């Protein structure tokens, strides 16, 4: 079980694609959530300013309103596909990163509830609480996905389970996951998603918020560029491969180009820049991971390889057919949804709050 079959390679790539889908799409949702208190801050305590700030918050939330739930499905699909295509990877990873994942779940629950419930009652306290859930949940989820994924790639104490043949276990605790490089990974994800979210708002809104978002995105983008370069160099020194370095180079160029485009007020291109930067950062991550599913810090022989983690050819074949038929369909209707809601939003599009108090 050392050689990787073509089917296993296909599924490794498909899981990378699902993560690209998740992080490029939910990445800007997280960014919007984190930017809520920043771009939606009232400049003075004047009631007019406070009312205006509330309308700006609602503009931001409505840019992601129709799509955030669909964006989140990408991670469910990534989870399901990992379970089906690499069950040992799913088993070792999810049990190993137990508390970190539980925290991610809490963050996603709070954020999702906030998005769904915030507008349902016209009450300041109600809104404030859900704002906290949205912003806190978005920040925590972005940070922890960064920490988690960087841990997978950078390596964790993985070893074969002496008690169960074929099983691999994570020999550590929550603290094991909080090493400097994974923490840098978390911060990089946060900065990147802030940038991505800001460019998304700049692209999807009109009025003062559009310009504020763009300016903020440029600053956040420069911070992300510094963080990302440091992070990818640290990972590359340990796990560099051709695919990793190509992914890193393209991601870096895309991010800088995106920032430059934002500076020229080309918002569409700026967003494409951060989109590509995130996508190619995932390519770099998966390039560094290959041919392991979870490299071990306890010596190469202990690493969980993709081949050892994989399902049978029977399962992979069935899954390949399903993916080949249904992924294009999903992409078509997802793309169509973005087209339906393509118009920019401004404060004058925001209706009165609901009459429920």
CB 153 within 8 A of CB 285: yes
Query: What's the CA angle centered on 22, arms 64 and 306, to 5 degrees?
Result: 175
CB of 108 or CB of 262, closer to other proteins: 108
CB 240, min distance to other proteins, A: 29
CB 98, min distance to other proteins, A: 5
CB 334, min distance to other proteins, A: 6
Q: Which long-range contacts (CB under 8 A, 24 or more apart) does 336-341 make?
A: 337/66, 337/67, 337/70, 338/67, 340/66, 341/66, 341/67
CB of 138 or CB of 188, closer to other proteins: 138
CA–CA gap between residue 64 and residue 144 (Å, rounded) = 21
CB 335, min distance to other proteins, A: 10
CB of 226 or CB of 356, closer to other proteins: 356
CB 209, min distance to other proteins, A: 15
CB 285, min distance to other proteins, A: 20
Q: Sign of the CA dihedral 23, 25, 30, 31?
A: positive
CB of 248 or CB of 303, closer to other proteins: 303
CA–CA gap between residue 337 and residue 323 (Å, rounded) = 20
CB of 134 or CB of 261, closer to other proteins: 134
CB of 66 or CB of 268, closer to other proteins: 66
CB of 62 or CB of 302, closer to other proteins: 62
CB 250, min distance to other proteins, A: 27
CB of 169 or CB of 209, closer to other proteins: 169
CA–CA gap between residue 146 and residue 140 (Å, rounded) = 10
CB 99, min distance to other proteins, A: 6
CB of 91 or CB of 202, closer to other proteins: 91
CB 291, min distance to other proteins, A: 18
């Amino acid at each position: 079980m050392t050689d990787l079959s073509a089917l296993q390679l296909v599924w490794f790539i498909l899981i990378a694609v699902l993560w690209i889908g998740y992080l490029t799409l939910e990445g800007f949702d997280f960014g919007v959530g984190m930017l809520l208190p920043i771009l939606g801050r009232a400049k003075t305590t004047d009631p007019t300013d406070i009312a205006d700030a509330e309308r700006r918050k609602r503009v931001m939330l409505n840019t992601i309103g129709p799509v955030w739930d669909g964006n989140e499905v990408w991670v469910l699909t990534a989870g399901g596909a990992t379970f089906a295509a690499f069950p040992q990877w799913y088993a070792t990873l999810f049990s190993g990163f137990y508390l970190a994942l539980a925290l991610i779940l809490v963050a996603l629950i709070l954020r999702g509830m906030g998005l769904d419930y915030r507008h349902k009652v016209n009450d300041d306290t109600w809104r404030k609480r859900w704002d906290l859930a949205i912003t806190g949940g978005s920040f925590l989820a972005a940070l922890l996905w960064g920490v988690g994924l960087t841990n997978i790639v950078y390596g964790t104490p993985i070893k074969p389970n002496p008690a169960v043949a074929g099983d691999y276990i994570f020999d550590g605790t929550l603290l094991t996951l909080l090493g400097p490089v994974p923490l840098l990974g978390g911060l990089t994800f946060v900065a990147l998603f802030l940038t991505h979210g800001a460019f998304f708002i700049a692209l999807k809104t009109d009025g003062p918020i559009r310009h504020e978002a763009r300016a903020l995105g440029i600053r956040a983008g420069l911070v992300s560029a510094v963080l990302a370069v440091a992070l990818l160099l640290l990972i590359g020194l340990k796990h560099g491969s051709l695919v990793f370095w190509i992914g890193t180079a393209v991601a870096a160029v895309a991010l800088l180009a995106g920032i430059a485009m934002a500076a020229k007020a080309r918002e569409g291109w700026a967003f494409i820049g951060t989109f590509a930067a995130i996508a190619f950062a995932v390519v770099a991550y998966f390039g560094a991971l290959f041919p392991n599913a979870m490299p071990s810090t306890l010596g190469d022989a202990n690493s969980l390889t993709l081949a050892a983690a994989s399902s049978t050819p029977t399962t992979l074949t069935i899954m390949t057919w399903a993916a080949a038929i249904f992924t294009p369909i999903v992409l078509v209707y997802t793309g169509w949804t973005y087209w339906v809601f393509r118009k920019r939003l401004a404060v004058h599009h925001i209706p009165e709050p609901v009459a429920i108090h």
